[in-house]
Amino acid sequence: MDEAAERRAATSADESGPHTRTDVERVHALGTARRAIEAELAKRIVGQREVVHLLLIALFARGHGLFVGVPGLAKTLLIQSLAEVLSLRYGRVQFTPDLMPADITGTDVLEEDPETGRRVFRFAPGPIFTNILLADEINRTPPKTQAALLQAMAEGRVTAGGRTHPLDAPYLVFATQNPIEQEGTYPLPEAQLDRFLVQVDVGYPSEAEELEIVRRTTSPTAAVPSPVLDREEILELQALIPRIPVADHVVAHAVGLARATRPGEGAPAIVRDYLGFGAGPRASQALILGAKARAALDGRFAAEIEDVRALAAPVLRHRLVPSFRAEAEGVKMDDIVRAILEASPPS
């Protein structure tokens, strides 16, 4: 048995089947799976450990992810490689200004039955019907087309031609966005931004990492990742996350962080000065679900306050609406989140 097969066996069920495992065994399996997934992704992706970690948190928390970074940082390759490692169907949509909603969801096409000669409409599914959808440069298409993803992201189904079609689970949208090229782009509506569990800022690699990237990508051979989990195992581990215990004081801390982003009496001065609107209740939910997934991926059996605080920036940064003063003075959302964390120490 090769190394990849051994890791796969370690994450599989016992002799009586995967659904007979206890939650303690599932947590152990998820921790083992995390290490195996990271090892397989490292065959293609150099560095970006925190990006990969947040991607896995979103995956197992059943959340969508928005990846923001300049071109050439392997955002697309990372998501494609994840689909291969997880044996999931993968679809990619390149968002452009002329993209229409039907180009994503699919449309009814008129066909003639060769036997009867009758003409009937048949629904032709669009690329949204997959397990992992990469919405590449999502801010390059108008809001009407961006909104075509909303129902799929919120409900796991698509309405087209007057009929509703379910999407196969797991269903995840990972979108990319270029932060520096703003000509011909359309800001994502706040309602859509709120549907992303996390916003992951993808930074430049270190010098050593960039040297390794150049060596790998200019060599004649490329490593191929091996599958680690299958669809049923992923669904089982995703179902585990809501069952991870979390103490009341941890929930209270998450709610307190979200409420501290809302301008008003009692809010930190930086919030009153630089935010027009703060995060809604979905942010509190995302903090707790993300904290549970983070704990389980580390092989721990309960989410702690430190899990919540570690996810504050990825969960909150895209949900905060800056004021005119913040934009004029160039205040970053991460600076505001950092100030909120400093003003809200763990109790």
pLDDT at 224: 83
Q: Is the overall model pTM greater than 0.75, yes or no?
A: yes
Task: Specify if 174 maps to a domain.
Answer: yes
Whether the CB-CB separation of 129 and 175 falls below 8 Å is answered with no
Nearest residue to 43 via CA among 212, 200, 231, 176: 212
pLDDT at 235: 93
Contacts of 44 (CB under 8 A, 6+ apart): 74, 77, 78, 81, 222, 223, 225
Low-confidence ranges of the chain (pLDDT < 50): 1-16
pLDDT at 132: 94
* CA distance readout (Å), 56 to 11, 40, 154, 163, 243: 16, 13, 19, 33, 17
Q: Are residues 217 and 256 in the same domain?
A: no
Whether the CB-CB separation of 41 and 75 falls below 8 Å is answered with no
CA distance linking residue 303 with residue 245, whole number of Å: 7
The beta-strand segments (E) located in 181-327 are: 196-201, 275-277, 321-322
Q: Are residues 72 and 202 in the same domain?
A: yes
Q: Are residues 51 and 165 in the same domain?
A: yes
Q: Are residues 104 and 197 in the same domain?
A: yes
Backbone angle region of 291, left / alpha / beta, with phi > 0 → left and psi within -120 to 50 → alpha? alpha
Task: Specify if 15 maps to a domain.
Answer: no
- Among residues 174, 190, 222, which one ends one of the domains? 222
Nearest residue to 93 via CA among 69, 62, 129: 129
pLDDT at 16: 41
Q: Are residues 185 and 153 in the same domain?
A: yes
Task: Specify if 125 maps to a domain.
Answer: yes
Q: Are residues 211 and 265 in the same domain?
A: no
Count of other CB atoms within 10 angstroms of residue 96: 13
pLDDT at 18: 52
Q: Are residues 143 and 274 in the same domain?
A: no
Strand-pair partners of 131: none
CA distance linking residue 299 with residue 292, whole number of Å: 11
Domain harbouring 103, CATH code: 3.40.50.300
Domain span at 210: 44-222
Q: Are residues 201 and 311 in the same domain?
A: no
Domain harbouring 275, CATH code: 1.10.8.80
Task: Specify if 150 maps to a domain.
Answer: yes
pLDDT at 2: 46
* CA 261 to chain CA centroid, nearest Å: 22
Q: Are residues 286 and 168 in the same domain?
A: no
pLDDT at 298: 93
CA angle, residues 183, 184, 189, in degrees to nearest 5: 105
Q: Are residues 256 and 168 in the same domain?
A: no
* CA 126 to chain CA centroid, nearest Å: 21
Tally of structural domains, the chain:
2
Q: Are residues 184 and 302 in the same domain?
A: no
Q: Are residues 86 and 121 in the same domain?
A: yes
Task: Specify if 212 maps to a domain.
Answer: yes
Task: Specify if 236 maps to a domain.
Answer: no
Cis ω for the linkage preceding 263 (within 30 of 0) = no
Q: Which two tokens stand for residue 194?
A: 């709120």
CA angle, residues 56, 58, 61, in degrees to nearest 5: 105
Q: For residue range 177-229, list pLDDT tens digits in order.
A: 887 666 667 888 888 889 999 999 998 888 998 998 898 888 887 778 888 98
